[in-house]
A = this chain, B = another copy of it.
């Protein structure tokens, strides 16, 4: 079993806000991330598939095709977007890195599997110093 990872990037705006809370509660929990006028990040997304290398190619999966899949299915929806307002799969969710990686997982998984690969793991950097990992 070999694990192959492809990294893609996107830039997006968001804010962290519990609309059922007062402004004071939001600032107490989310701090500057609750700024009403949004802030944003350069996100870095790692997508890992696993399998046995194909004897005809030496590939677990074609890394170029994996990149195209991530760009078509995910980056197209989130890059230069507002995660709270513009992204169908995040509608009604807090746009924490945790929820975002779970949303991306659910969105990408069927497309990866339809192409014959087994999705193993995702890693999402919100900043160089904060990242989340998810295995489904």
Contacts and interface: CB of A to CB of B under 8 A. Distances in A.
B98 A33 contact: no
A51 to B, nearest CB: 9
A110 interface: no
Interface in A82-119: 82, 85-86, 93-99, 101-102
Determine the interface band of chain A, counting residues with CB < 8 A from chain B: 35 or more
A contact patch SS: mixed
A72 to B, nearest CB: 15
A118 B122 CA distance: 20
Contact of A18 (B13, B57, B132): B57
A43 to B, nearest CB: 9
13 contacts: A5-B132, A9-B127, A11-B39, A11-B127, A13-B13, A13-B37, A35-B86, A37-B86, A39-B80, A39-B82, A42-B127, A42-B128, A53-B98
